[in-house]
Amino acid sequence: MNPRDMVLTSRQRWRLRMLAGVGRGTLLLLTSVAAAAVLLIIGYIARDALPFFRQCGFREFFTSANWYPSREPAEFGALAIFVGSALVTIGATILAVPLGVAAAVCLSDVLPFGLRQIVKPVVEILAAIPSVAYGFFALVVLAPLLQSHGGPLLAAAWWAVATPVLLLASCAVAGIASGRIVSPTRQRAWQAALTILLLAGSVALLLAGHHTFIQLQVSSGVNALNASLILGIMALPTVVSVSEDALQAVGRDLREGSYALGATRAETLVRVVLPAASSGIFAAVLLGIMRALGETMVVWMASGNAAQIPSPWYNLLEPVRTLTATIAGDMGEADQVSSSMRYSVLFAMGLCLLLFSFACNLVSERIVSRERKRLQGE
């Protein structure tokens, strides 16, 4: 090739700059369209929500539990609905996050590659099931089981969850406490005695929990627990997939370096892999929370739709009502033509959901940025 052919003329350089500018402009336009769509949605919802706050204020909406939108005079206290949304979301998070992160660790570092290629698509199939099918299952299958056999089911779940947790905690506490003793003989004797004592306490706690749960009477199968279980299952694919991608992004070099320094697989997972992937796992947790918080059909069918604060407030066995179910259920009855307060209060609830999601995204971005700088040593 002639070296002269590799020299660009001024016209060719101008053409390349124009093409690069057009490419950057197109990408910027596409990104701006997505951002503008989100801002327009927020602006539209805020426009219809502001009349309610101007006329009724913030105090009744956030502090009162009296939700009577069709009564004269109407009352729009949404505190019970906020509590119901929080209960259902927290219950789903407690179920989905530990199971999802544990499944992601198993897929990324425990299972063979061939088996992982089979298991992961099966887990992700859960995300393809329509939410109305989940709601129908909760209403037809899970609700009658909870109502007729709620106590024994909760007692069995208590044994299944608490037994491994208490055993691992007892062994860990005994090992840490005995490690402070210098003499090997006294160390083994102290560890054995402390382990037996902690195991006896764990068995007593298990029996006490079993006695408490077995006596429970579930008055209605459509309650916060029913909705939480189904929402936790629905959020599992999101938590598993994003967490597993974060664990895979850590790379083999950190794992092999940890093994070369003498760490076991468990120590490598706990002290190297999980801290390095913590930002991605936290993003997975937030996505799972927002998945549970934004679900409509399941909570509409399985939560009971009772605008009340449970007694006590953390009781998952009583019917509750959520923000999304209220918006979906009352939007058809609200007077959209005259822009009544019942119509505007639903947009106020939607605005609260949007602002909460926006705040979660900001927090996640902040934490991810901080973790990235920490891992890069900045």
Range of the domain at 79: 57-330
| Residue 291 resides in a domain | yes
Tokens of 131: 């939410």
| Residue 28 resides in a domain | no
Alpha helices in 57-78 (DSSP H): 59-63
Q: How many structural domains compose the chain?
A: 1
The C-alpha atoms of residue 75 and residue 71 are separated, in whole angstroms, by 7
For residue 183, give the CATH number of its domain: 1.10.3720
| Residue 226 resides in a domain | yes
| Residue 301 resides in a domain | yes
pTM for this prediction: 0.84
| Residue 357 resides in a domain | no
Tens of pLDDT along the chain (378 residues) come to 445 555 667 777 888 888 888 888 888 888 888 888 888 988 889 988 898 888 888 888 898 888 888 888 888 889 999 999 999 999 999 999 999 998 898 888 888 888 888 888 888 888 888 889 999 999 999 999 998 888 888 888 888 888 888 777 777 776 666 555 555 666 677 767 777 887 788 888 888 888 888 888 888 889 999 999 999 999 999 999 889 888 888 878 888 888 888 888 878 888 888 888 888 888 889 888 888 888 888 999 998 888 888 888 888 889 999 999 999 888 776 655 445 788 888 999 999 998 888 888 888 778 777 766 766 655
| Residue 131 resides in a domain | yes
| Residue 361 resides in a domain | no
| Residue 368 resides in a domain | no
